[in-house]
């Protein structure tokens, strides 16, 4: 049984982030599971720090992108939006090349808040970063 408010395709989800931070740093949503969302991000000049290793901020951007997209997919987008309230991350292993792969799963889905756990691994499935994101669910404001 799926947790998503409606059925989404990978193209639908890609359109949500094409012209914002996730798109600019190369985050690509690669799988929508019944209760999780998976993405990958390149380790390249956009996502590394001066010493050539994955920037911790890029890992956090991947985590928040995954959790926020997942949170958005759970609510009725006509009525609600999700906004980040708090994120933490433990950086466990450096990465110099290839891709990192993130997977986000909800820990709590409430009417007014959501909590997401995001794990990021390298191409060899070694844990790189673990993060927890808290989202507020608010009424959609007109643009």
Cα separation, 121 vs 68, in Å, equals: 19
Name the nearest CA neighbour of 64 among 11, 128, 120, 1: 120
Note the pTM of the prediction, 2 decimals.
0.96
Give all domains of the chain, ordered by start, each with its CATH number. 10-139 (3.10.129.10)
CA atoms of 67 and 17, how far apart (whole Å):
13
Percent of the chain with pLDDT over 70: 100
pLDDT digit string, tens, across residues 4-59: 999 999 999 988 887 899 999 999 999 999 999 999 999 999 999 999 999 999 99
Q: Nearest 5°: CA angle at 17, between 63 and 44?
A: 60
User: What is the sign of the dihedral through the CA atoms of 67, 71, 74 and 77?
Assistant: negative
**Active centre residues (catalytic):** 64
Contact 136, 89 (CB under 8 A): no
């Amino acid at each position: 049984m799926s947790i998503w408010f409606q059925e989404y395709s990978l193209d639908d989800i890609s359109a949500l982030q094409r012209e914002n931070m996730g798109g600019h740093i190369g985050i690509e949503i690669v799988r929508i599971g019944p209760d999780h969302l998976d993405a990958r991000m390149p380790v390249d000049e956009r996502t590394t720090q001066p010493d050539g290793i994955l920037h911790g901020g890029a890992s956090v951007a991947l985590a928040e992108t995954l959790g926020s997209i997942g949170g958005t997919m759970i609510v009725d987008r006509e009525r609600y939006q999700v906004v980040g309230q708090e994120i933490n991350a433990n950086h466990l292993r450096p990465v110099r090349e290839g891709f990192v792969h993130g997977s986000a799963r909800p820990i709590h889905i409430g009417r007014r808040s959501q909590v997401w756990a995001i794990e990021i691994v390298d191409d060899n499935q070694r844990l790189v970063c673990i993060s927890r994101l808290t989202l507020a669910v608010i009424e959609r404001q007109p643009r």
